[in-house]
Structure 1
Amino acid sequence: MTVYAADKLIAQARLLAAEYRRTMGKPLPGISNEIAEHDAVKLLRLEPRPEGETGYNAIDPSRDGWRVQIKSRTIFDESKSGQRIGQLKLDREWDSVVLVLMDEDYEPYEIYEADKDEILEFVNDSSSSRAKRGAMSVARFKIIGRLVWTREDGLESEVWDNQSG
């Protein structure tokens, strides 16, 4: 499949997911993860993980094969607190997690990154059984991590270091 075809399919998936939610009143299961993985790879200049590898979703070639787990959260109502991200795979081999935040049209507006050491420090210091299992809120992830991409500004050059083309 060509890059153009993948971009076109993701654009159609965004439209379908948004319309499905407006019509049915609930999100279409699993679609936000697929869209977020595509967006993170494209926007952060990552490469999809090699076939057969598990525990992470992409590799950052500019950081010598840095393994990246990709998570997503579609925020339909920013006034609601307690938004959670999917459980992190703490027992797998990876180097960082990126969290792609998307709006009600499944368009990314911010991407945050947190290194595994930062996440494990939070988990080890936490008394929460949820945290011990790798679950955390969007707000906590934003505190632990750092903003690496925004819809308005693109890549944050001081933070994200894969600027070489």
Structure 2
Amino acid sequence: MSVYEADKLISQARVLAAEYRRTMGKPLPGISNEIAEFDAIKILQLEPNNTPEGGFNAIDPERDGKRVQIKSRTIFDESKSGQRIGQLKLDKSWDSVVLVLMDEDYEPYEIYEAEREEILEYIEESSSNRAKRGAMSVARFKIIGRLAWTRESGLEEEVWDNQSD
């Protein structure tokens, strides 16, 4: 499948997911993860993990093959607090986690990245049982991580440096 075909399919998936939620009143299961993985790989110029090794979704060829776990959260109502991300795979091999935040149309508007060491340090210091299982809020992830990309500004050069030649 060519890049054009994948772009077109993801575009159609965004429309379908948004319309499904508006019509049915609930999100279409699993679609946001697929869209976010595609977006993160494309925007951050990563390579998909095509190995049988699990725990990470992509590899950053410009940063010594860094293994990246990709998470997503679609924010339908920004006034609601307590938005959570999916459980991190703490027992797997990965080097960083990228969180893709999407709007109600399943379009990415911010991407954050947190290093494994930073996440493990937070978990170790936390008294929360949720944190010990690898679960955390979007707000906590933003505090731990760094803003890597925004819809308005693109890549944050000082954070995401795989764009330099």
TM-score bracket for the superposition, by shorter chain length: over 0.9
**Take 1:63 and 1:146, find their aligned partners in 2: how far apart are those partners?**
16
Counterpart of 1:93? 93
RMSD in angstroms over aligned alpha carbons?
Answer: 0.7
Alignment map for 1:113-128 (pairs within 5 Å): 113-128=113-128
Unaligned runs of 5+ in 1: none
Equivalent in the alignment of 1:32: 32
Deviations 1:103-162 (A, max 9, x none): 000000000000000000000000000000000000000000000000001100011010
2:51 & 2:91 partners in 1: Cα distance?
20
Q: CA deviation at 1:53?
A: 2.0
Q: Which residue of 2 aligns with 1:6?
A: 6
Please name the residue that 1:43 is paired with. Answer: 43
1:164, distance to aligned residue in structure 2 (A): 3.6
Q: Tell me the TM-score normalized by structure 2.
A: 0.99
Distance in 2 of aligned mates of 1:25 and 1:114: 32
Alignment of 1:73-112 (within 5 A): 73-112=73-112
Runs of 4+ in 1 over 3 A off after TM superposition: none
Matched, 1:153 2:153: yes
| Equivalences, count | 165
Q: Deviations over 1:12-39 (max 9, x none)?
A: 0000000000000000000000000000
- Cα distance between partner residues in 2 of 1:117 and 1:51: 24
1:93 is matched by which residue type in structure 2? Answer: S
**In structure 1, distance between residues paired with 2:112 and 2:128:** 23
Q: CA deviation at 1:50?
A: 2.2
Q: Which amino acid aligns with 2:40?
A: A
TM-score (normalised: structure 1): 0.99
Corresponding residue number in structure 1 for 2:129: 129
Q: Percent identity?
A: 82
